[in-house]
Structure 1
Amino acid sequence: MNRQEIKQLLDEKYSEYCKSDFFIETDPIQIPKMFEEKEDIEISGFLAASLAWGQRPTIIRKCRELMQLLDYAPYDFILNATETDYERFTHFKHRTFNAYDCCYFLHALAHIYRNLGGMEKIFTDSFRQHGDMLKVLSDWYRLFTIHPAEKRVLRHIANVEKGSAAKRINMYIRWMVRKDQSGIDFGLWKNIPASALLIPLDLHTGNVSRQLGLLTRNQNDAQAVLELTERLREFDPADPIRYDFALFGLGAFGKQNI
């Protein structure tokens, strides 16, 4: 396929898969869709994205379990919970993400909202400083890992300086920043442009991108994210990551050969 044919395919598949009634019912983004308040959306979205690996039905079930433990009020919980309240997470587990990891994440979020102005301020300030989302992700790793008592929690926080593709945090940022007619992504954060976003690179996206000749790197790592994102910017400089729907959909839902 030539460049124009690839773009036409991706545009068609974006239109096919980027539909709220089709996409949301099978995607972890349905978790923040449960809420209306900005802070509840940000917090539940971050937690849902953080748990987004494995089978999608299991991810969604565990995310709903976590929201129940948070009394379906994540912002209120992190602001007002006592240490006794954290005991309810003793048996929470999703794959290798255990009760300690869960409580660490919640305490870190509490610090962010009590003392640092919230998630939007952290990411927006970093972007204003660097103008580069890879550097923003480096800042995020350093901030979020500043107080881990157990180093095991670090496996759940993407470190792009060590080559991580940072799929889950890039997906979360996409949720918060992008906005289109589908209404899937929230578009809550107004001061980071969609043009700056990085592709949430996973197995489906990587495999399809290589089949299409959009990605030459074999590993799904930070360098591959940069390579693929630059190729997608050639197709849509203003909103390259909209093609995440097309690439993921072709891999996860598509039945035809490319």
Structure 2
Amino acid sequence: MGGLKPNVHRQALVDTLEAIYRQYHQRAYVHPDPLEFLYAWEDLKEREVVGLVAACLAYGRVAQILKSAAAVLQKMGPSPHRFITRSTLKTMSQTFSGFRHRFADGDQLAALLYGAGRVVRQFGSLENCLAAGLTPDRENLLAALAHLFGQLTRGRNSPGHLLPDPGKTSACKRLHLYLRWMVREDRVDPGGWRCVAPSELMVPLDTHMHHVGRRLGFTQRGQADMRTALEVTAGFKAICAEDPVRYDFSLTRLGIRSELDMDCLPLVYQQP
């Protein structure tokens, strides 16, 4: 199930979402959000590496996410791009010895970064690797993400929980969050990638956006998995086909800002 319910006045919902967007889609509301790490990097080759690190660590408590991302980037030095392309797996493992972020350890982080360096050396950039997986008749970006995942995880060493597999049932929230950061370009998302359009993006579905999707009637499913992410994305596409994740950042402020809660959204679907 996706899209708007027939008995809902579309314009009223659009007006509500646009009001939230105008108020909260601002850099002033980014902190605390791992997206803030990308703003320091004008060079796209650096930003896409920083974005990958920040997105892959974006699970758990936000304070720990920011602490872990800052620690990793500090160890990578002034050029994360140079770090991943010139370091060996052994030296990366030594650099991140003792690192821990929830389920992930230093060896898994090293595997992720070494895989990223191998991809950049082979394809020229992480963007080019994603582009190599695109198909002309694509309905979504899942095949391209699966290609990127496969290239990043080649070899015996695994990044574990740091990198979700698009080929499984997971909503892959962090990968879609990474795409939002790298593809959309406005006062919040820094963008830079041109291989895909904002219209092709999927909602980075977590528990919070799952609740939003259910409340707005875009899905009735109880699991925040890939199928649900597709349904919620279809719902937002019915409102903004050229940019279905337009409202993602501002709506996630509902779970952060004390003056905002779900009651500001129209109740389209009552959960059983």
Indicate conservation of the 8 Å contact 1:138/1:160, yes or no.
Answer: yes
- 1:195 aligns with 199
Distance 1:155 1:9, change over 3 A: same
**Structure 1, unaligned runs of 5 or more:** none
Decide which of 54, 62, 65 is 1:56's aligned counterpart.
62
Q: For residues 130 and 98 of structure 1, what CA distance do their matches in structure 2 show?
A: 39
Letter in 2 for 1:232: F
Q: Percent identity?
A: 29
**Structure 2, unaligned runs of 5 or more:** 1-7, 266-272
* Aligned residue runs from structure 1 range 195-214, under 5 A: 195-214=199-218
Task: Give the match's secondary structure for 2:124.
Answer: coil
- 1:246 aligns with 250
1:154 Cα offset (Å): 3.7
Decide which of 113, 119, 122 is 2:120's aligned counterpart.
113
Indicate conservation of the 8 Å contact 2:103/2:161, yes or no.
Answer: no
1:67 Cα offset (Å): 0.7
- 2:34 aligns with 28
Distance 1:161 1:109, change over 3 A: closer
Indicate conservation of the 8 Å contact 2:112/2:162, yes or no.
Answer: no
Q: How many residues align?
A: 253
Task: Give the match's secondary structure for 2:241.
Answer: coil
- Residue deviations 1:205-247 (CA, integer Å, cap 9, x gap): 1112212222221111110111011111111111111121233
Q: For residues 112 and 55 of structure 2, what CA distance do their matches in structure 1 show?
A: 12
Indicate conservation of the 8 Å contact 1:13/1:245, yes or no.
Answer: no
Q: What TM-score, normalized by structure 1, do the two folds share?
A: 0.91
Indicate conservation of the 8 Å contact 2:119/2:125, yes or no.
Answer: yes
Q: What TM-score, normalized by structure 2, do the two folds share?
A: 0.87
Letter in 2 for 1:7: V
Task: Give the match's secondary structure for 2:103.
Answer: coil
Q: Segments of 4+ in structure 1 off by > 4 A?
A: none
Distance 1:142 1:256, change over 3 A: closer
Q: For residues 155 and 92 of structure 2, what CA distance do their matches in structure 1 show?
A: 20
Name the Cα RMSD after superposition: 1.8
* Aligned residue runs from structure 1 range 1-258, under 5 A: 2-23=9-30, 25-82=31-88, 83-84=90-91, 86-129=93-136, 131=138, 132-149=140-157, 153-180=159-186, 182=187, 184-253=188-257, 254-255=260-261, 257=263, 258=265
Indicate conservation of the 8 Å contact 1:209/1:247, yes or no.
Answer: no
